[in-house]
Amino acid sequence: MKVLMVCLGNICRSPMAEGILRKKATDRKLSLHIDSAGTGDWHSGENPDPRAIRTAKSYGVNISQLVARQFNVSDFDHFDTIFAMDQSNLKNILSLARNESDKKKVELLLDLLPHKKNKNVPDPWFGGEDGFTDVFNLLDEACEHLINKIS
Ligand code: 4NP
């Protein structure tokens, strides 16, 4: 199965989600292809935000070598499921969908959690380090549900 995590900049939320899911898959010896992308291209080519790298590292998840890239329409061909971090990302991804099959691949990440339907993973970019910890824990909860669903 191939999973793509998408946020706005691909330097905070989606690289953390990618790292968390990859670690869970590795720990359970599950073969998953995991990647992440941003709907915007301002940070393409950059490593994740240092606050995201530090937070993930404190939970044993290494995301320091990930490199940001922009979401593009060929991602609909390469991935089975595309998870959007918030409603705005969802809208932007759906605006690029070419057909119903593309649209069906896109989901809001927190829709995996029955008590968080239609909720957004908050953008931690403008806040402090605490926001990154909260986001990490939210992503970890969603990825735990996902890995249990897959396995
Ligand atoms: P992300 O956070 O979407 O979780 O990677 C952001 C990073 C950068 C910007 C916005 C959100 N930015 O405006 O540059």
Compute the distance between CA of residue 15 and CA of residue 17 in angstroms, rounded to an integer: 5
42 lines ligand 1 (CB under 6 A): yes
Distance 69 CA to ligand 1 centre (A): 12
51 lines ligand 1 (CB under 6 A): no
How many domains does the chain divide into?
Answer: 1
* Contacts of residue 11, Cβ cutoff 8 Å, sequence gap at least 6: 38, 43, 46, 47, 48, 49, 52, 68
* Contacts of residue 132, Cβ cutoff 8 Å, sequence gap at least 6: 12, 16, 51, 52, 54, 55, 124
**Domain of residue 112, CATH code:** 3.40.50.2300
* Containing structural domain, residue 36: 2-150
Interhelix angle 13-27/50-58, rounded to 10 degrees, is 30
β-partners of residue 124 are: none
Supply the residues annotated as catalytic: 7, 13, 123
Alpha helix (H) ranges present in the chain? Answer: 13-27, 50-58, 75-78, 87-94, 100-104, 129-150
Phi and psi torsions of 57, nearest 5°: -60, -35
Residue 19, pLDDT score: 98
CB 151 within 8 A of CB 30: yes
pLDDT in tens, the chain (151 residues): 999 999 999 999 999 999 999 999 999 999 999 999 999 999 999 999 999 999 999 999 999 999 999 999 999 999 999 999 999 999 999 999 999 999 999 999 999 999 999 999 999 999 889 999 999 999 999 999 999 999 8
